[in-house]
Structure 1
Amino acid sequence: MYVPYPQTKKSGKGKIAALAALFGFFILLVLSSSVVVIDQTEVGVVKIFGRVQEKPLHPGLHFVTPFVTEVVRMPVYEKTMEMIGEKHIKALTSEGLPVFFDMAIQYKVVPEKAPEVYSTLKNYEIWMESRIRAHIRDIIAQYKAEDLYTENRELIQADIERRLDEEFRPYGILITAVLIRNIDLPESVERAIQAKIEAKQEAERMQFIVQKERLEAERKKVEAQGIAEANRIIGESLRNNPEYIQWYYLQVLDDFAKSGNSVILVPVPGNFYPGVNVTSTPPLILPTTK
């Protein structure tokens, strides 16, 4: 005899299990849609029904309205926009010479202004690149080609950084550094610039030599003045005390004679000997070597 009741009971349990599994999946889906984790290097731009909210989500765990909320992550760490290879910069100098060079622009997005950057610019790097190229061409046109090879390159980089910062800061993008690299000029222009730099270095070297000689002349002048002053003082001293030099000479003569050397006699004034008053000219004994 056929009894259907046990099959009906088994079928009911299967439906309950299926409903429980479906409910659990729905719960997981709701949780995954309502929990958002933001990394330390980014902020979250919140969109509800496609409308961008003013306040961003900062790093950490956040709960949002599921299904109707979308969170767009934007990096806020310092990034580098490379303009190299086919994207290198081409500009004309004040002399009308074409120059080619690579460039790196370092920048970062202000976290609090990330929603504004997203809503007004969205693909902001593409927007930035077009304006960067325009500003660089305008600035390079104010300088000579040789300025890119000399210390004026730092002035050019600072000028570009200032101009770009003025352009992008109101949008919430800060320019932190501008670097010019791999400058390419016509070979004849490079040779002319190199020759000019070498001539300038030679002129500076000669200026240094002239300055050195001028200082040496001043030193010798001061030294001569010192010697002259010393001689004047010694002369004044001898004029005030003539007996000293006479005594000193006789002392040297006596020491020389005691050593066994021969001497010769020459006439001297009568007042040469201190303390002796003679009217005739007594002999002066001068030493001579054997």
Structure 2
Amino acid sequence: MDKLPKIALPALAAIIFLIIIISKSAITIGSGEAGVLYKTFGGGVVTDEAPLGEGFHLVAPWNKVFIYEVRQQEVFEKMQVLSSNGLEIKLDASAWFQPEYESLGKLHQEKSELYKDRILLPAIRSAARSVVGRYTPEQLYSSKRDAIQQEIFEETRNIVGDQYIQLNQILVRDVTLPPTIKEAIERKLKQEQESLEYEFRLITAEKEAQKVRIEAQGKADANKILSASLTDKILQDKGIDATLKLAESPNAKVVVVGSGDDGLPLILGNN
């Protein structure tokens, strides 16, 4: 009975030590995450192997694991940039990005967990200043929004392309001009719209007048052709036909033949 505690205590201590070792060594990586292994006695950050994937892992207790989110993320940025004529423009933009999975070790070693603040956001600011500086406030306000967004995306991607960051999209969410400039542009656009509308009405009126002239000319030409084809004989024959039809009418009472100026019949007593 005296020997039992002497055996149990070392065993208990070993179990407790084993539990501590396992708890220090167990790493669980969540969904959409990956881990970068740092070997304290083995060369530091592991860059020549794939990062640790999702799930449960056991690592030596003297090593460390740095966990990164590797799914697509979004970062917002508000900037003040200058247009081509030196006016201050406020630009709200966001970026869709994610770290390059296979290069996660190099990203951690060279850029650290602060890569968004140290690399991505400065790149977006630099690209935005460069692109917006090529355009006037009028272009920024109206027709060039999509082009500006695409150019900022391409320039930012060129900057971060070798920085182990995958840039998926840049979205320009708002462009704010100084109030006086915005009002002046809106007045100009309104005047241009009214001018276009006036020109459209003039063109429509001119087309309508041209249509009326063509129709009138057509009628005049038709009458001219008809007049040229109506000889005295034709007119006399048509008069006789008309007289016969009137004579057959129940309202025709008296027909005087050959009493007209042209020898055509006269109809008298018409009720």
Q: Does the pair score TM above 0.5?
A: yes
Q: Is the 8 A contact 2:94 2:170 kept in 1?
A: yes
Structure 1 letter corresponding to 2:13: L
- Give 1:175 deviation, angstroms: 2.6
- Give 1:169 deviation, angstroms: 2.4
Aligned: 1:267 with 2:260: yes
Q: Is the 8 A contact 1:264 1:286 kept in 2?
A: yes
Structure 1 letter corresponding to 2:144: N
The equivalent of 1:38 in structure 2 is 29
Aligned: 1:141 with 2:123: no
Structure 1 residues 282 and 186: CA distance shift in structure 2, 3 A: closer
Aligned: 1:186 with 2:168: no
Cα-to-partner distance string for 1:190-231 (whole Å, 9 max, x where unaligned): 221111111222233234334444554565567668767987
1:74 to 62, 68, 71: 68
User: Across the two proteins, how many residue pairs are aligned to each other?
Assistant: 263
Structure 1 residues 249 and 171: CA distance shift in structure 2, 3 A: farther
For residues 145-224 of structure 1, the aligned pairs below 5 Å read 145-213=137-205, 215-216=207-208
The equivalent of 2:265 in structure 1 is 283
The equivalent of 1:106 in structure 2 is 96
The equivalent of 2:242 in structure 1 is 249
- Give 1:91 deviation, angstroms: 1.4
Structure 2 letter corresponding to 1:108: Q
- Give 1:174 deviation, angstroms: 2.7
Partners of 2:60 and 2:154 in 1: how far apart?
A: 44
- Partner SS state of residue 53, structure 1: coil
Structure 2 letter corresponding to 1:91: V
Partners of 2:82 and 2:123 in 1: how far apart?
A: 17
Q: Is the 8 A contact 1:253 1:286 kept in 2?
A: no
The equivalent of 1:278 in structure 2 is none
The equivalent of 1:24 in structure 2 is 15
Tell me which of the two structures has the higher relative contact order, counting C-alpha pairs closer than 8 angstroms and 6 or more residues apart.
2
Partners of 1:232 and 1:39 in 2: how far apart?
A: 94
Partners of 1:30 and 1:262 in 2: how far apart?
A: 137
Identity rate, percent: 24
- Give 1:252 deviation, angstroms: 5.1
The equivalent of 1:96 in structure 2 is 86
Show structure 2 runs of 5+ residues with no match. Answer: none
Q: CA RMSD of the aligned region, Å? A: 3.8
Cα-to-partner distance string for 1:80-130 (whole Å, 9 max, x where unaligned): 2112xxxx3111111111122322222222322222222221111112222
The equivalent of 2:47 in structure 1 is 53
Q: Is the 8 A contact 2:38 2:64 kept in 1?
A: yes
Q: Is the 8 A contact 2:51 2:101 kept in 1?
A: no
The equivalent of 2:111 in structure 1 is 121
